[in-house]
Each structure stands twice: as structure tokens, then as C-alpha cells.
Amino acid sequence: MPQRPRAASQYTTFNVYEPEELMTFLLKVMSGISRNKVKALLTGRAVYVDQVITTQYNFALKPGMKVQISKKKGQKEFHSSLLSIVYEDAYLIVVEKREGLLSIATNREKERTAYSILTDYVQRSGRQHRIFIVHRLDKDTSGLMVFAKDEQTKRNLQDHWQEIVTDRRYVAVVSGEVEKNNGTITSWLKDNKVYVTYSSLSNNGGDKAITHYTVIRRANGYSLVELELETGRKNQIRVHMKDLGHPVVGDTKYGNGDDPLRRLALHAFKLWFYHPVTGELMKFETPYPSSFKNLVTGKSSSGTALQNAEPTRQ
């Protein structure tokens, strides 16, 4: 079992006697507290469930669990406009990344990254603490990512990624109204000398890539599409949507110049995987970004995925 953070005297502990959601439980046991104050405790990372920091308002409590609430602010508060921590334990951190933020620095780009932000965060607990990259999202893609807190967890996740991850999905807005309700795109992807990925229907010596898509809605000359990756190749979704004749909105590299949102309309909204240490099935999911939905309904919105997301951990 994980060596999870121990509750000190500054925590108030409540026992769980019946199944209910965390928000409902906290409103009941903390007499007179408002929903906004409960949300502030959750986003402020002041609530533990069985000694694991839990920020999800609808986390499903079970009889026998213990809920602990900090009486004062901790030393590891996390504040970033580019990144949101949705789950953390002794072995890993699950985050939601904003568009425009690199996952990790490259030889060509040394700017602020998700990796460097999280490294600064964990090192507040001691210089020996580290973060390990497990997988990446493109700079212009937003959504859920998992980082390891030790090298063994990183290796377990990477070496067994196909078996550990049970559901990984993206949502995108693409140009044009996709004709079929669902389908599968298969091709071989390979980079040219200027790092542009190109696609071939026959084996060109590149990596085989398989993308499954489902159309959620068509309107206003756009399609809202869910995408499930059978393989996780560089730029896979963007290249496959171009192959389909419906490039991702806002894609300056593989698109057609259509950019009504002033961002790449691609978001990693679902990530389900078995915890590499405990074996627990971890389920994380964010709502579709409101700007994506509004583009195919004709509504205007300045909302962002990070502001509107309320991930669930079960």
C-alpha cells in the first residue's frame, strides 16, 4: 500500500458510515458551512480521504473511509494559471494542462513547462523530491496528464501503458460536418526533416497509428468529435483528422487556417488507468471545454477548460 501523507493534529477527522458524495458529506458534518467554502477547501487541497488529498466534489465515499480536513493551510499549496492538480498521492500526480503549455522542455524550446511547474511544487517538500514524465500532450493541446513521483512508478506506467490505461479519449472540434457517425483511421506516421509528420496508407517505415472517432454533434459547419487512440503517436489526431478531410480547428500546422477559437480545439478529457502500485482503477474526466460546445451551438463564451473542469476520481 502507498506510504500516504499522515494526518497530524491540525486535522479534524470524520468517519464515513454510509455511501455518499464528498460534497454532500462535508456539508452535513461541517454545520453551517456554505457550498462555496467547501469548494474552497477542496480546491485549496485541504481535504484528505483515507489520507489522500482529494479535490473532487463528487468523489464517492464508502463506509469505513475517513475524511480529514486541515485546520490551517499546508506548506504545499499549489497555484498556477497554466496547470491544475486534480489528484495526488505518494506515487503520482494527475493534472489538467492548459493549452499553450509545453509538457516538457525540448532542445528547441526551453520555456516554462508542466514538468518544471510540478518540479518546483514537489521540491518545496525537500530538494530530493522529483517529478518524472510519463507521457506528453502537444503544447497546444489541453487536458489530463499523469506524472510519476519516483522512477519505479514511471517505469511501471510506461512499460505497461497499454495494459494499465483502460480509456483515454480526446474531444475536438473539426472543420466541416463529418459525414459518418463513427469510423476508424489507420495509417503509418513518419516525420520529415523539418519535423512535420506525414501519413501513408501503406507501411512507409514509420509508426502504425490507429484512431477511432465518434461524431457527437454537427452544426454551423463544424463537428464536435470524440477520439479514442488505439496507439499514441506524435501528432496522431491532428494528422488523422487532416487525412479525413476535416482538420482540427485552430491547427496551424496541419489545418486549413480555420481558427475561430484562437486555439487548437483539442482536449484530452478522459483518462482511466489502473494505479501502478495499488491496482485501483482511477477514473478522471473533465467536461468538454465550453468554447468547443458553443462553437457547434452558435453561443459565444470566454470560458476555458480549466475554469469549467470538475474532474472525478472514483
Active-site positions read 138
Cα–Cα distance, 124 to 131 (Å, whole number): 12
Cα–Cα distance, 51 to 214 (Å, whole number): 39
Cα–Cα distance, 313 to 309 (Å, whole number): 13
In a 3-state reduction of DSSP, which class is residue 19? Answer: coil
The number of beta carbons lying within 10 Å of the beta carbon of residue 115 is 19
Cα–Cα distance, 58 to 314 (Å, whole number): 9
Q: Is the dihedral of CA 208, 254, 263, 246 positive or negative?
A: negative
Cell of 139: 503544447
The Cα angle at residue 205 between residues 202 and 207, in degrees rounded to 5: 85
- Buried-state track 128-166, b at ≥16 Cβ within 10 A, e below 16: eebbbbbbbbbbbbbbbbbbbbbeebbebbeeeeeebbe
Cα–Cα distance, 128 to 239 (Å, whole number): 40
Cα–Cα distance, 232 to 255 (Å, whole number): 20
Q: In angstroms, how far is CA 26 from the centroid of its own chain?
A: 26
Cα–Cα distance, 52 to 62 (Å, whole number): 14
The alpha-helical segments, DSSP class H, found in 186-258 are 236-244
Cα–Cα distance, 153 to 148 (Å, whole number): 6
